[in-house]
Amino acid sequence: GAGVSQSPRYKVAKRGQDVALRCDPISGHVSLFWYQQALGQGPEFLTYFQNEAQLDKSGLPSDRFFAERPEGSVSTLKIQRTQQEDSAVYLCASSLAGADEQFFGPGTRLTVL
Amino acid sequence: GDSVTQMEGPVTLSEEAFLTINCTYTATGYPSLFWYVQYPGEGLQLLLKATKADDKGSNKGFEATYRKETTSFHLEKGSVQVSDSAVYFCALSDHGSGNTGKLIFGQGTTLQVKP
C-alpha cells in the first residue's frame, strides 16, 4: 500500500487479556517507531527498530510490553495482561534510513475494560 | 531530557483570522523541529519542518521559524479557514550521535475555526 497501515483499528480487551497490534510500514522504510497517545495528549515514544533490530526500547512502560519486527518489515506490538492504564491509541510510524520525516499510520485505539 | 511545550487549547477563531500557536522546546543537541496536524478522524500528518536555526518551514499557508535564541517554533497563518480545524502538535527530533531520531511531542493544541 501507499501508506502505513495498522490493524486492528479498534480493540476492546478485558483487563488481564493479551493483545497484539500490527503495523505494516511503507515498503522500503528501514526505520519503524511505535508511539502511545493517551486521550488529549501528544504521542509518546515507545520503541524503535532499524530493520529487524530493536535499537531503542526505552519508552516501553513495563515488561508487559513487547515489540518485534522479525523480518525487518511488519512489526507487532504485544501487550500482556492488559491494564486499564494501557487504554490509548497506539501509533506506528516509518521512515527512510536517516530521514527525519516520519509517516504515521491511522493508529489502533485500545480500550481495556 | 528533551521536551516540547505548546500553548493549551482549544483555540477558537473566526474564519480569516490570524493564527499563532506557541511552541517552545528544550534540547541538549541540535534538533529538527516539526509541526504535525491531526484532522478529525485521520492520522498524524507532517505540516512543516525546519532543520536548523533561522530556517523557516512553510506549507498550506502555515509558517514557523526555528528560533534558537528563544528556543521557539511558533506556528502562524495569516488567514485561517474552517478546514484548518484540527489538532496541531509541535515536535522535535534529534539525529545526533547515539540518537534514534524519535519524535518528542507537545501535548497538542486544538484549533476550531468558525464560519
Tell whether the model's pLDDT for residue A99 goes beyond 90.
no
The pLDDT value given to residue A1: 53
Shortest distance, CA B107 to any CA of chain A (angstroms): 4
- Average model confidence (pLDDT) across chain A: 95
Q: Which of A75, A52, A43, A78 is nearest to A63 (CA)?
A: A78
Residue A96: its H or E element: none
Looking at residue B28, what is its pLDDT? 84
Residue B8 is classified by DSSP as: -
B98 Cβ contact list (under 8 Å, min separation 6): none
Give the residue on B whose Cα is nearest the Cα of A102. B46
Per-residue pLDDT of chain B (115 residues; tens, 9 = 90+): 889 999 888 999 999 999 999 999 999 888 999 999 999 888 899 999 999 999 999 999 999 999 999 999 999 999 999 999 999 999 999 766 566 789 999 999 999 999 9
Residue A98 with chain B: CB contacts under 8 Å: 95, 101
The predicted structure's pLDDT at residue B1: 84
Name the minimum distance, in Å, from the CA of B101 to any CA of chain A: 7
The b/e string for B44-67 (b: 16+ C-beta within 10 A; e otherwise) is bebbbbbeeeeeebeeeebbbbbe
Tell if the CB–CB gap between A40 and B107 is shorter than 8 Å.
Answer: yes
How distant is the alpha carbon of residue A48 from its chain centre? 9
DSSP one-letter code for A104: E
Percent of chain A with pLDDT over 70: 99
Rounded to 5 degrees, what are φ and ψ at A84?
-60, -35
- Asked if A93 and B95 come within 8 Å (Cβ–Cβ), the reply is no
Q: What digits encode the pLDDT tens for the residues A34-80? A: 999 999 899 999 999 999 999 999 999 999 999 999 999 999 999 99
User: Is the predicted pLDDT of residue A88 greater than 90, yes or no?
Assistant: yes
Q: How many CB pairs under 8 A join A and B?
A: 60
Percent residues over pLDDT 70 in chain B: 96
Partner-chain contact A91 B101, CB within 8 Å? no
- Min Cα distance B81 → chain A (Å) is 23
Contact A100 B49 (CB under 8 A): yes
